[in-house]
């Protein structure tokens, strides 16, 4: 058995420092799919009529929002003139899209990037992860966003400094819905995935989210709170509650919910957000709870993980849950798939991790509570003290 580490789901938000500027095969005895997520209530704006054009397969999930270039320092502490910086790329929505792609689901990412090397490289990286980037717009006047991540050392949080003010993605707006490439993707999507980060970037970004959440709509919406306090210093965060309540599936960490909404308790959050079909609240190293609109709740413990870097784990958790929705899994297995995807992200230094192979995923989704509780995830792979170890390819 591999050494047991901290148990995390990746629900916590990473502190920001303001700066200027196909599914795996399932066993034959798998339970019948649950009823679909019920739609949330309310009517608002109409999305413009869509002509999808030529018959091109549409992604199941479309993720909309900013991604950035990331400079990762070689170690904790202040930067020095001889510090080594590694260039990588990440962002909540593209992280979720790429994780879904590794889980076998067709995805697309819609955003704006600068007409610069960072924007071209970012788009290429996301595309290489199996994500449709055909509706990513190149902005000739605004730059691609950038952030610097400094590791926090053993057991500590990373420190992230963002340089995104005036970025290309901050110019996203309702005019996106007139772009034929974006309209085609949205017309065929089963789920559109959004986050609270986009709402904080600009008035036009907020207007875009309101339009994407408007009813009637052809797709379901998942919305990850993704609370970033530094982004809301000059904006009104009270808009988040309304946005969240217009979604069909809502995800949030208990810690960030306490800061943004005043409580992290699932029942109280459900009272604040009565409309979504499902509300999922992650309690870091302990568990995640799914609360349905009728009050039914399901709680599933987190996995034991040797954490390398927490950034991106919440995005991966969202991807796992969305994959569970697409596969028709019950609430418990949706949460398990979320935990598995998050564990993969936690065990890598980058924003994005590769989930376990499909046979291991299928085995763990249907394992006993005892086998699940004994499972450990490290950078080396999956380990468990029970018979599930042999079935997970160890």
Handedness of CA 37, 301, 379, 330 (dihedral sign): negative
Pairing mode, strands 375-378 and 381-384: antiparallel
Contacts of 276 (CB under 8 A, 6+ apart): 40, 244, 245, 247, 248, 249, 250, 293
> Do 126 and 89 form a contact (C-beta atoms < 8 A)?
yes
HSE toward the beta carbon, residue 258, CA cutoff 13 A = 10
Taking each continuous run of H as one helix and of E as one strand, the counts in the chain are: 13, 19
> Do 353 and 100 form a contact (C-beta atoms < 8 A)?
no
φ, ψ for residue 159 (rounded to 5)? -110, 120
> Do 372 and 336 form a contact (C-beta atoms < 8 A)?
yes
Looking at 224, 245, 315, 350, which residue is catalytic? 315
The neighbouring-strand residues paired with 289 are 281, 299
The three-point CA angle 274-277-280 to 5° equals 85
Residue 59 tokens read as 């992604």
> Do 136 and 123 form a contact (C-beta atoms < 8 A)?
yes
Both ends of the chain: CA-CA distance in Å? 10
Our answer to whether residue 315 is catalytic in this structure is yes
Q: In what order do the strands lie in the sheet with 375-378?
A: 304-305, 375-378, 381-384
Query: Among all residues, which ones are annotated catalytic?
Result: 315
């Amino acid at each position: 058995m591999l050494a047991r580490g901290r148990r995390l789901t990746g629900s916590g938000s990473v502190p920001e420092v303001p700066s200027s500027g196909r599914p795996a095969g399932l066993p034959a005895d798998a339970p019948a799919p649950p009823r679909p997520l019920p739609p949330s209530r309310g009517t608002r704006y109409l999305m413009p009529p869509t002509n999808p054009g030529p018959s091109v397969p549409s992604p199941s999930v479309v993720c909309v929002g900013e991604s950035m270039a990331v400079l990762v320092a070689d170690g904790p502490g202040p930067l020095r003139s001889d510090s080594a910086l590694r260039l990588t790329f990440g962002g909540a929505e593209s992280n979720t899209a790429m994780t879904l792609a590794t889980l076998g689901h067709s995805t697309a990412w819609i955003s704006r990037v600068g007409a610069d090397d960072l924007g071209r490289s970012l788009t290429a990286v996301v595309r290489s992860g199996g994500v449709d980037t055909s509706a990513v717009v190149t902005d000739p006047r605004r730059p691609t966003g950038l952030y610097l991540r400094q590791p926090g050392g053993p057991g500590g949080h990373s420190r992230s400094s963002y340089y995104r003010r005036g970025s290309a993605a901050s110019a996203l707006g309702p005019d996106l819905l007139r772009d034929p490439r974006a309209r085609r993707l949205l017309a065929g999507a089963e789920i559109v995935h959004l986050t609270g980060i986009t709402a904080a970037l600009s008035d036009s970004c907020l207007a875009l989210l309101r339009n994407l959440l408007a009813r009637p709509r052809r797709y379901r919406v998942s919305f990850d709170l993704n609370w970033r306090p530094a982004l809301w210093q000059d904006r009104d965060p009270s808009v988040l509650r309304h946005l969240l309540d217009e979604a069909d599936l809502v995800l949030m960490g208990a810690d960030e919910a306490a800061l943004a909404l005043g409580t992290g308790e699932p029942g109280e959050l459900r009272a604040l957000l009565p409309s979504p079909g499902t509300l999922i609240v992650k309690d870091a190293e302990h568990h995640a709870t799914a609360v349905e609109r009728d009050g039914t709740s399901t709680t599933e413990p987190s996995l034991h993980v040797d954490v390398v870097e927490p950034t991106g784990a919440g995005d991966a958790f969202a991807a796992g849950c969305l994959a569970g929705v697409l596969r028709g899994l019950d609430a418990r297995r949706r949460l398990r798939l979320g935990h598995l995807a998050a564990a993969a992200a936690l065990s890598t230094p980058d924003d994005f991790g590769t989930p376990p192979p499909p046979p291991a995923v299928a085995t763990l989704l249907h394992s006993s509570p005892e086998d699940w509780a004994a499972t450990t995830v490290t950078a080396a792979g999956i380990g468990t003290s029970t018979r599930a170890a042999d079935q997970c390819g160890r």
